[in-house]
Amino acid sequence: MSERIFQRHELKFLVTEEQRSRLEAAFADRMVPDPHGESTVCNVYYDTPDFRLIRTSLQKPVYKEKLRLRSYGPAAPEDEVFLELKKKYKGIVYKRRVSLPLRAAEDYFAGRAPLPDPGQISREIEYFHRFYGTLLPALYLCYDRTAFFSRESTDLRVTFDRNICWRREGVTLSSPAGGRQILPAGHSLLEIKAAAAIPLWLVEQLSRFGIRQTSFSKYGEAYKTILAGTRRENCGGIAYV
């Protein structure tokens, strides 16, 4: 079981296929593809039965936090997955991550066993769990990601996420990827992650192609869809699954 800590700014942009293509062409000499190539990122978000964590996050407080379990592609019980505690304070993202087998992570949330390694990050996750009480696998969310790193600094990372899907059935990393689409057809979510300021050349390219920053939470967008469906059901008797 290993631990990692990330601290960085994360900026998000919704882009069309044309904007994405032009931007990739523009930074081809400055960015290199992630060594792992394209990947399917699978997540299970844990929340209270009344969705306290995401409801608080959508209110845009100064401080907010989330807990998720992540794998790259569907995972078997003994495959390595990542348990991540993600916090955001005044625009800076702090992510604490531990790696462990999927079986061990699911045993922990089911109350069958503690986290395998009682390190600092594990203690933070366990405190988080005690503070919020009951945490359930609230939502499954997956997407296809293409990632790039700066040739000059590994502190700058650019990702494009497409086919962002969510579901509330089969909320486990061992299930096949898939679900309901979040983004409009032909769009991707661009994320720029940097330890310091975004380099001027990248800012210029974003402006050149008319790419504007947006506030976008994948889990938040899925939750708003769930909430809207519940309201439709309550008001008009329309079934929502």
pLDDT tens readout for residues 1-17: 566 777 889 999 999 99
What pLDDT shows up at residue 1?
Answer: 59
- The structural domain count of the chain equals 1
Q: Within a domain: residue 238?
A: no
Three-state secondary-structure class, residue 171: coil
Cβ neighbors of 8 (< 8 A, separation 6 or more) are 92, 93, 155, 193, 194, 195
Q: Which domain holds residue 106?
A: 3-214
Asked if the model's pLDDT at residue 239 lies above 60, the reply is no
The yes-or-no verdict on residue 154 having pLDDT over 90 is: no
Alpha helices (runs of H) in the chain, residue ranges in sequence order: 17-26, 52-58, 102-109, 120-132, 200-208, 218-236
Q: What is the pLDDT of residues 118-150, one digit of tens each?
A: 899 999 999 999 999 999 999 999 999 999 999
When pLDDT is cut at 50, 70 and 90, the band that residue 235 belongs to is very low
Cβ-based neighbour number of residue 1 at 10 Å: 16
| Residue 229 falls inside a structural domain | no
Tell me the pLDDT of the chain averaged across its residues: 91
- Domain assignment present for residue 140? The answer is yes
pLDDT of residue 219: 97
- Give which of 191, 90, 184, 84 is closest to 148, Cα–Cα: 191
26-30, 50-54, 109-113, 207-211: least confidently modelled range: 26-30
In a domain, 69, yes or no: yes
Chain centre to alpha carbon of residue 240: 25
235 assigned to some structural domain: no
Output the CA angle 170-186-141, nearest 5 degrees: 20
Handedness of CA 217, 141, 76, 130 (dihedral sign): positive
CATH code for the domain in which residue 183 is found:
3.20.100.30
- For 66, 102, 193, 197, 202, the CA distances from 82, given in Å and listed in that order, are 14, 8, 19, 27, 30
Distance in angstroms (rounded) separating the CA atoms of residues 240 and 146? 32
The percent of residues in the chain predicted with pLDDT above 90, rounded, is 80
Which of 88, 86, 107 lies closest to 97 in space, CA to CA?
86
pLDDT 10s digits, 176-222: 999 999 999 999 999 999 988 889 999 999 999 999 999 999 999 99
3-state secondary structure at position 146: strand
| Residue 182 within a domain | yes
Q: Does some domain include residue 241?
A: no
Q: What is the pTM of this model?
A: 0.91
Residue 239 lies in a domain: no
Q: Quickly tell me which residue has 């348990």 as its tokens.
A: 83
